[in-house]
Amino acid sequence: MIRILCIACVCLFCSSGQAATQPNILLIVADDLGIGDTGFSGGKDFPTPFIDRIAKEGVIFTSAYLTAPVCAPSRAGILSGRYQQRFGHEMNPREGPVEQEGLPLSEKLLPARLRAAGYHTGIIGKWHLGTEEAYHPLQRGFIEQPLGFLGGSRAYSGSGKGIGKGLLIDGKPVEKDGHLTDALGDAGVDFINRNKSKPWFLYAAFNAPHGPLQPNEAVMSRVPESLKDGRRKFAGLMISLDDAIGKLLAAIKASGQDENTLVVFISDNGGQTLVGASNLDLRGHKGMTWEGGIRTPMAMRWPGKISPGTICATPTISLDIGATFMDLATGSVPKDYDGRSLQGMLTRQEKLDENRPLHWRFGAKWATRIGDWKIIRATAGDDVQLYNLVQDPTEKNNLAAAYPEKLKEMQAIHAEWNKALIAPLWSGNPGQVKEESAKPKVKK
Ligand SMILES: [Ca+2]
Average pLDDT, stretch 16-27? 75
Whole-angstrom distance, CA of residue 4 vs CA of residue 243:
30
Share in percent of the chain as helix, strand, coil (round to 5): 30, 20, 55
Whole-angstrom distance, CA of residue 240 vs CA of residue 75:
22
Whole-angstrom distance, CA of residue 207 vs CA of residue 154:
8
Q: Give residue 428 CA to ligand 1 midpoint distance, Å.
A: 15
pLDDT at 96 over 60: yes
> Can you tell me whether residue 260 is helix, strand or coil?
helix
> Can you tell me whether residue 2 is helix, strand or coil?
strand
Average pLDDT, stretch 151-158? 93
Q: Give residue 348 CA to ligand 1 midpoint distance, Å.
A: 33
Whole-angstrom distance, CA of residue 93 vs CA of residue 202:
24
pLDDT at 365 over 90: yes
CB 32 within 8 A of CB 207: no
Average pLDDT, stretch 274-302? 97
> Can you tell me whether residue 193 is helix, strand or coil?
helix
Q: Can you name the CATH fold of 2-348?
A: Alkaline Phosphatase, subunit A (3.40.720)
Whole-angstrom distance, CA of residue 84 vs CA of residue 363:
12
What letter does residue 316 receive in the DSSP assignment? Answer: E
Give the pLDDT score at 7: 36
Average pLDDT, stretch 106-129? 98
State the catalytic residue, choosing from 6, 89, 120, 128. 128
H or E stretch covering 263: strand 261-266
What are residue 325's phi and psi, to 5 degrees?
-60, -45
Q: Give residue 152 CA to ligand 1 midpoint distance, Å.
A: 8
> Can you tell me whether residue 123 is helix, strand or coil?
strand
Give the pLDDT score at 4: 53
Q: Give residue 406 CA to ligand 1 midpoint distance, Å.
A: 32
Q: Give residue 431 CA to ligand 1 midpoint distance, Å.
A: 9
Give the pLDDT score at 27: 99
Give the pLDDT score at 2: 52
Whole-angstrom distance, CA of residue 90 vs CA of residue 19:
33
Do 359-419 and 2-348 fall under one CATH topology? no
* Least confident window among 3-12, 64-73, 150-159, 425-434: 3-12
Query: pLDDT by residue (tens digit) across 322-345?
Result: 999 999 999 999 999 999 999 999
Q: Which of 165, 129, 126, 124 is nearest to 145 (CA)?
A: 124
Sheet of strand 373-377: strand arrangement: 358-362, 365-370, 373-377, 385-388
Cβ-Cβ contacts under 8 Å for 210 (sequence gap 6 or more): 31, 32, 71, 126, 153, 272
Query: pLDDT by residue (tens digit) across 228-265?
Result: 999 999 999 999 999 999 999 999 999 999 999 999 99
Give the pLDDT score at 32: 98
What DSSP string describes 134-183? GGSGGGTT-SEEEEEESSS---S--SSS-S-TT-EETTEE----S-HHHH
Percent of the chain whose predicted confidence (pLDDT) is above 90: 88
Q: Give residue 201 CA to ligand 1 midpoint distance, Å.
A: 21
Number of other CB atoms surrounding residue 18 within 10 Å: 8
Give the pLDDT score at 162: 86
128 catalytic per annotation: yes
Give the residue, 396 or 5, on which the prediction is more confident: 396
14 catalytic per annotation: no
Query: pLDDT by residue (tens digit) across 265-276?
Result: 999 999 999 999
pLDDT at 70 over 50: yes
What DSSP string describes 26-49? EEEE-SS--TTSSGGGT--SS--H
Q: In the chain, where are the structural domains located? A: 2-348, 359-419
pLDDT at 444 over 60: no
Q: How confident is the model at residue 19 (pLDDT cuts 50, 70, 90)?
A: low
State the catalytic residue, choosing from 71, 89, 136, 210. 71
H or E stretch covering 361: strand 358-362
Q: Give residue 20 CA to ligand 1 midpoint distance, Å.
A: 33
Whole-angstrom distance, CA of residue 165 vs CA of residue 160:
13
pLDDT at 354 over 70: yes
Percent of the chain whose predicted confidence (pLDDT) is above 70: 91
Average pLDDT, stretch 20-42? 95
Q: Can you name the CATH fold of 359-419?
A: Arylsulfatase, C-terminal domain (3.30.1120)
Q: Which of 266, 244, 245, 269 is nearest to 152 (CA)?
A: 269
CB 324 within 8 A of CB 341: yes
Q: Give residue 187 CA to ligand 1 midpoint distance, Å.
A: 21
Question: What's the predicted TM-score (pTM) here?
Answer: 0.93
CB 101 within 8 A of CB 84: no
Whole-angstrom distance, CA of residue 370 vs CA of residue 125:
34
Query: pLDDT by residue (tens digit) across 39-65?
Result: 999 999 999 999 999 999 999 999 999
